[in-house]
């Protein structure tokens, strides 16, 4: 189960990093993607480290931080579409909206939990392999933890009408979209797109009744 | 959980492994996922591991984390981590990564002596980062395909390739030769608890993030494993002996797409060589940017979401800054 543990650990950190990686206010039009990720990342980490309420798992504060600094830089709809794969085309507009909203709620909850666990981690960025003309890039980083191997945390961003946005995140080698793809496919296989939406909604309902901070 | 120790345990594990292999080979019902034909068996084993974790390992790890001072936990983790560096180094050498391998062996020497038998990780402070390699990764680096996903009793997620060489990794673990046996067993248990404790928070988070934990762990593990073998995409690997094309993790396809066999074919006109890091791996000329690889990794991509509709969608979502609507 060592690998499970690694996987778990990494996902936690990854989510944290995701959270960490997300953005700050003031959309700067021409900001390079790696600069953007770096700025959001540092901003969120510093805020979380400095705020005792966040470390204590204050739901409202954590959610506010995520809303303000991270959400504007994530293309949730695309992320959801990619995870749904070929089923996305068959979904009605209402189903698409419902699905991405529920998926976003689930991810936000997870990030929030990860955010409250930030302590002394530092993030180190690697050189980006991209051409200035590229509209899709990968930003690579690692989270240095106090003990054990660093946690790999990569982001894929695409340039859209409103600037660069993150559409997939890699924690410890696993991409978020790819990891959810199997689950989405099997839930859709069981109960259609509505079945998947229902399942996500149920999970979100359960989580809403629990504190943001993971039990220690 | 790494219960690699006394011979009784080892032989018991051997039996279980053999049983697992036998029952899988006997052909459980073929699951819908091509990478996981033994899903039925794997799910049972997963439930068993989970029960063991809930009943014993997790409670022990929680207590360990709460009771022992941090420096003791760090010492335990460093000590066993140091023992594993030796085999990691050998595997790096077998994979032809000489610099990493020598770094690992230097780490091991430093930490074993000046680091007080590994209790202190002065190697990391000296700039020798910790790696993690095992024989399954070495086989992968040599081009052996992973085969189907396989859930092992107590040891957790694996693949057929990696499961077959578990005995090699066990034999290469110095702690497996510790005498007296009582100490060996005790240390093995402590190591398992320490490793579990390190991921307590993460495992709690993951329970929340996953709709179906079995699938979540499987799909994450297979990607994670491939990423380890390719060292986060730095190594180019072409798997031979694919049992079937579809048996390779989906990630393998994107990696292959990422490093096309024909080196000259993929340089886009505008790619500035200057943007390629000088440390790029051998076939560097073919790796001007990530863009193509990223595109190749997604099917059915609708492209970036149009801002206006996205804003509308967000405005329509009530749940953002408060809890989702209550029941």
Q: Could you read off the pLDDT of B89-133 as tens digits, one per residue?
A: 999 999 999 999 999 999 999 999 998 998 998 888 888 888 899
B273 inside 8 A of chain A by CB:
no
Please write the tens of the pLDDT for every residue from A106-143. 888 887 777 777 777 788 888 888 888 888 889 988 88
Backbone dihedral angles phi then psi of residue B325, each to the nearest 5 degrees: -45, 135
* Range with top average pLDDT, A112-116, B208-212, B237-241: B208-212
Please write the tens of the pLDDT for every residue from A7-46. 555 555 555 554 444 444 444 557 888 899 999 888 888 8
Nearest to A173 among B223, B288, B307 (CB): B223
**Tokens standing for A59?**
């739901």
Interface test mutation site (partner A, options B67, B235, B298, B315, max chain A beta carbons within 10 A):
B298
Tell me, what's the pLDDT at B10?
A: 47
B69 inside 8 A of chain A by CB:
no
Backbone dihedral angles phi then psi of residue A126, each to the nearest 5 degrees: -105, 160
Is B310 in Cβ contact with A77 (below 8 Å)? yes
Structural domain boundaries in chain A:
2-208
Q: How far apart are CA B224 and CA B156, in angstroms?
A: 14
Architecture per CATH, A2-208? Roll (3.10)
Quickly list DSSP for B138-190.
Answer: HHHHTTB---SEEEETTTEEEEHHHHHTHHHHHHT-GGGG-SSHHHHHHHHHH
Q: A 90-109 residues with CB below 8 A of B?
A: 97, 100-101, 104-109
- Looking at the complex, report in whole angstroms how far the Cα of residue B211 sits from the nearest Cα belonging to chain A: 7
**Tokens standing for A49?**
């480290």
Which of A110, A103, A119 shows the shortest CA–CA distance to A177? A103
Q: How far apart are CA A186 and CA B215, in angstroms?
A: 9
Cβ proximity of A17 and B227 under 8 Å: no
Say yes or no to pLDDT of B142 above 80: yes
Cβ proximity of A156 and A136 under 8 Å: yes
Helix (H, G, I), strand (E, B) or coil at B13: helix
Is B216 in Cβ contact with A179 (below 8 Å)? yes
Nearest to A160 among B129, B218, B307 (CB): B307
Contacts of B1 in chain A (CB under 8 A): 1-2
Is A160 in Cβ contact with B305 (below 8 Å)? yes
Residue matched to tokens 């629990």: A210
Q: Between B4 and B301, where is the model more confident?
A: B301
The β-bridge partners of A74 are A166
> Nearest chain B Cα to A207, which residue?
B208
- Average pLDDT of chain B is 75
Verdict on whether the full-model pTM lies above 0.90: no
Interface test mutation site (partner A, options B140, B166, B224, max chain A beta carbons within 10 A):
B224
Contacts of A77 in chain B (CB under 8 A): 305, 310, 313
Contacts of B195 in chain A (CB under 8 A): 2, 5
For the question of an ipTM over 0.85, the answer is: no
Tell me, what's the pLDDT at B59?
A: 95
């Amino acid at each position: 189960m060592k690998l499970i543990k690694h996987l778990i650990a990494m996902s936690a950190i990854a989510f944290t990093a995701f959270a960490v990686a997300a953005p700050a206010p003031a959309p700067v039009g021409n900001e390079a993607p790696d600069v953007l990720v770096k700025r959001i990342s540092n901003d969120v980490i510093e805020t979380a480290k400095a705020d005792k309420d966040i470390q204590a798992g204050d739901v409202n504060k954590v959610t506010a931080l995520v809303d303000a600094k991270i959400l504007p830089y994530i293309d949730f709809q695309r992320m959801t579409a990619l995870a749904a794969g070929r089923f996305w085309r068959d979904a009605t507009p209402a189903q698409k909206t419902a699905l991405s909203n529920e998926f976003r709620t689930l991810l936000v909850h997870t990030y929030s939990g990860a955010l409250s666990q930030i302590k002394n981690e530092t993030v180190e960025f690697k050189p980006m392999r991209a051409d200035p003309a590229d509209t899709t890039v990968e930003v690579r980083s690692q989270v240095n933890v106090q003990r054990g191997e660093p946690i790999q945390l990569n982001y894929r961003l695409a340039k859209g009408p409103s600037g660069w946005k993150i559409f997939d995140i890699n924690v410890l080698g696993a991409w978020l979209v790819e990891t959810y793809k199997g689950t989405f496919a099997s839930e859709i296989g069981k109960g259609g797109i509505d079945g998947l939406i229902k399942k996500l909604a149920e999970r979100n309902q359960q989580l809403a009744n629990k504190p943001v901070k993971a039990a220690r | 959980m790494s219960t690699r120790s006394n011979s009784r345990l080892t032989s018991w594990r051997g039996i279980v492994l053999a049983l697992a292999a036998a029952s899988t080979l006997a052909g459980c019902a073929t699951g819908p996922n091509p990478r996981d034909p033994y899903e039925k068996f794997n799910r049972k084993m997963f439930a068993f591991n989970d029960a063991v974790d809930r009943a014993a390992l997790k409670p022990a790890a929680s207590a360990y984390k709460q009771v022992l001072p941090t420096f003791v936990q760090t010492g335990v983790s460093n000590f066993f981590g140091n023992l594993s560096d030796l085999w990691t180094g050998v595997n790096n050498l077998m994979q032809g990564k000489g610099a990493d391998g020598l770094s690992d062996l230097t780490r091991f020497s430093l930490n074993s002596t000046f680091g007080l038998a590994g209790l202190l990780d002065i190697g990391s402070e000296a700039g020798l980062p910790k790696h993690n390699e095992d024989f399954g990764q070495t086989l992968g680096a040599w081009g052996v395909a992973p085969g189907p996903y396989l859930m092992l009793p107590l040891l957790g997620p694996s693949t057929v390739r990696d499961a077959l060489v578990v005995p090699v990794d066990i034999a290469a673990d110095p702690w497996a030769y510790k005498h007296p046996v009582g100490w060996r067993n005790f240390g093995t248990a402590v190591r398992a608890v320490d490793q579990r404790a390190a991921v307590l928070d993460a495992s709690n988070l993951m329970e929340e993030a996953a709709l179906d934990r079995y699938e979540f762990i499987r799909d994450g593990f297979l990607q994670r494993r491939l990423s380890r073998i390719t060292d986060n995409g730095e190594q180019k690997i072409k798997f031979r002996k694919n049992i079937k094309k579809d048996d390779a993790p989906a990630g393998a396809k994107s990696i292959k797409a990422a490093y096309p066999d024909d080196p000259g074919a993929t340089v886009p006109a505008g790619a500035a060589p200057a943007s390629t890091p000088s440390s790029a791996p051998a076939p560097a000329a073919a790796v001007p940017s990530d863009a193509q690889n990223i595109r190749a990794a997604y099917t059915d991509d609708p492209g970036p979401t149009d801002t206006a509709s996205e804003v509308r969608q967000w405005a329509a979502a009530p749940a953002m800054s408060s809890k989702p609507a209550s029941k």
